[in-house]
Structure 1
Amino acid sequence: MKKLYIIRHAKSSWKNSSLSDFDRPLNKRGITDAPLMGKVLKGKKVSPDAIISSPALRAKTTAQIISKKLNFNKHIIYDENIYEANVDTLMNVVKRANKEDSIVFIFGHNPGLNMLAESLVGLHENIPTCGVVELEFACKKWSEISPENAKLISFDYPKKYK
């Protein structure tokens, strides 16, 4: 069995218009939402084997904050393919995860993450910033994940806890 946590980056700032989209930091709400969702995951006793993140600053920072809350002591994998990815690219990133890892987090962006969750489990809701979609797959290898063996376990986001 494999578990995938699809996590959208926390709320980012549009304050500095001279920054590229890739370099936008978290805003105040994002800085409070990321540790909150880390605390939620810790409360559920979630312990990832691997974390794969977009290298865009807002996704990278969200991954770092949540990994710290979970005492994740391995290196976060930054995969440039996640930034502005479509569903096929995201599926390929996940399918290439280490077969030894049972629980993988992927931090990224919409609309790609929405499309990934919709294609795997038919989730038609928008994943809000810092939203976490937990999926379980009845298979032994990441390369075998598909809609046929996928199950939605939970869908959490900061407003549920405020």
Structure 2
Amino acid sequence: MSVAESRRIVVFRHAKADWPQVPDHERPLAERGRKDAAEAGRRLTDTGISFDLALCSTAVRTRETWKLAVQEFPQRPKTVYEERIYEASPGELIAVLNETPDDLRDVLLIGHNPGAQGLTEVLAGSAEGDVRERMAGRGFPTAAFAVLSFDGPWKSLEPGAATLRDYWAPAD
């Protein structure tokens, strides 16, 4: 694959979490979150993207979201549980993505807000059709995902470098 080839990043926010008396990192999914995670997995499959890599926060709710979503995939991508995604800023998330090997084309990042929405907004220098307006109208609720594309090596990913191609939220 040439490094000039188009790459895709799907930013996926974890599904709805419960609020038991546990540290934030240990919060599990709520019942609605389990249903939404599976539905998001079906919708991710509908995109037709065959992910080369999934980068998932180490928090319980992101790991549970990924476990339920990936069951809907025809093929499980390599998964890396990355502690730097938890509570990461958009800049920190870009730094994680910049480390992706150039032989990988399509990456799924499973994380948290405000980082997930912030990353999507920061990367999207342009958008197709009404995708930006749809996302702005709904924000980035739990189990939502955005599909972005950009050209060039992963280390060149920077603010404004991507095009927002698609967006889905459970209310859609």
TM-score (norm 2): 0.86
| Cα separation, 1, equivalents of 2:78 and 2:89 | 25
1:21 aligns with 2:24: yes
Letter in 2 for 1:11: K
Q: What does residue 10 of structure 1 align with?
A: 15
Q: What does residue 3 of structure 2 align with?
A: none
1:155 aligns with 2:167: yes
Q: What does residue 149 of structure 2 align with?
A: 136
Letter in 1 for 2:69: I
Q: Percent identity?
A: 31
1:106 aligns with 2:109: yes
| Cα separation, 2, equivalents of 1:75 and 1:150 | 23
| Cα separation, 2, equivalents of 1:56 and 1:74 | 19
CA RMSD of aligned residues (A): 1.5
Moved more, 94-103 or 66-75: 66-75
Moved more, 91-100 or 141-150: 141-150
1:102 CA drift (Å): 0.4
Letter in 2 for 1:76: T
Aligned length: 157
Q: What does residue 91 of structure 2 align with?
A: 88
- Secondary structure (helix, strand or coil) at the match of 2:71 reads helix
- Secondary structure (helix, strand or coil) at the match of 2:113 reads coil
- Secondary structure (helix, strand or coil) at the match of 1:36 reads helix
Structure 2, unmatched stretches of 5+, are: 1-5, 126-131
Moved more, 142-151 or 80-89: 142-151
- Secondary structure (helix, strand or coil) at the match of 1:159 reads coil
Query: Structure 1 residues 85 and 135, CA, compared in 2 at 3 Å: closer, same or farther?
Result: same
Structure 1, unmatched stretches of 5+, are: none
Letter in 2 for 1:156: W
Q: What does residue 62 of structure 1 align with?
A: 65
| Cα separation, 2, equivalents of 1:136 and 1:93 | 16
| Cα separation, 1, equivalents of 2:70 and 2:112 | 18
Runs (4+) of structure 1 moved beyond 4 Å? none
Letter in 1 for 2:105: S
TM-score (norm 1): 0.91
